Amino acid sequence: MKTNSLTGLIDNFLDFFLPRYCLFCNLKLNTIEQYLCNQCTLQLIKCDNNHSEIKYKQYFESPNIINELNALYLFSKETPIQSLIHCLKYQSNYRIGNYLGKLIASENSDYFRKEIIDFIVPIPLHRVKFTERGYNQSDYIAIGISDLTNIPIEKNIVKRVKNTESQTRLNHTERKSNVKDAFRFCGKKSLEGKNILLVDDIITTGSTIIECGRVLKENGAEKIIAFSAALA
């Protein structure tokens, strides 16, 4: 009780001197709201199996690299999910990654309890982009998932060797050729029999995650589950 009232006091103090605002509508947040106000949080659309299956059939079935596709939210422009992803990637707000990762783990706790996953691989950034940004947003999503599931993270088995241009304005074919050979395996041993959770902030046509998954499969990975914070 004492701790709760002390925490409440600290929250109110921080709220007064360091007010936080909704990333989408700019409304002042109360002490329990995180990044988005309640109204904007209600606008987030959960990604259901139906949507990810349609997406899977469209882009993932034929290359047959990724075995399963999952995402937390559906992405659409000019909505709160775009603000979350934008602030995570371009405004140094890497803690949003941790927050989204924890949501992925808590909202899919049954899934993570029954699925055997050996480790999590966050989609790596090229070192030039990493230096510019100062962090890899996917690392933080992976940390959030790992914190709640205890699945270890493997950051050093795959490297991004091609500094690709942003995929935003490219069509599906252009995206595929843009990321071709962008990743290289740099693990010390074979991934024989390993089930890997491959994590990214947003998946659109899957070109990046498929190309990264290809390198893992070529090096023995048994099963690759793609999980993103948002699915376009």
Binding part of the chain for Zn ion, among 3-11, 14-22, 122-130, 192-200 by CB under 5 A, reads 14-22
By CB under 5 A, the residues from 40 to 79 that bind Zn ion are: 40
Pick from 25, 128, 161, 186 the residue near Zn ion by CB under 5 A: 25
User: Does residue 22 touch Zn ion according to CB under 5 A?
Assistant: yes
User: Does residue 37 touch Zn ion according to CB under 5 A?
Assistant: yes
What is the 3-state secondary structure of the chain? CHHHHHHHHHHHHHHHHCCCECCCCCCECCCCCCCCCHHHHHCCCECCHHHHHHHHHHHHCCCCCCCEEEEEEECCCCCHHHHHHHHHHHCCCCHHHHHHHHHHHHHCHHHHHHCCCCEEEECCCCHHHHHHHCCCHHHHHHHHHHHHHCCCECCCCEEECCCCCCCCCCCHHHHHHHHCCCEEECCCCCCCCCEEEEEEEEECCCHHHHHHHHHHHHCCCCEEEEEEEEEC
| Closer residue to Zn ion in complex, CB, 19/134 | 19
User: Does residue 81 touch Zn ion according to CB under 5 A?
Assistant: no
Binding part of the chain for Zn ion, among 36-44, 65-73, 135-143, 214-222 by CB under 5 A, reads 36-44
We find the least distance from the C-beta atom of residue 38 to Zn ion, in angstroms, to be 8
Where does this chain bind Zn ion (CB under 5 A)? 22, 24-25, 27, 37, 40
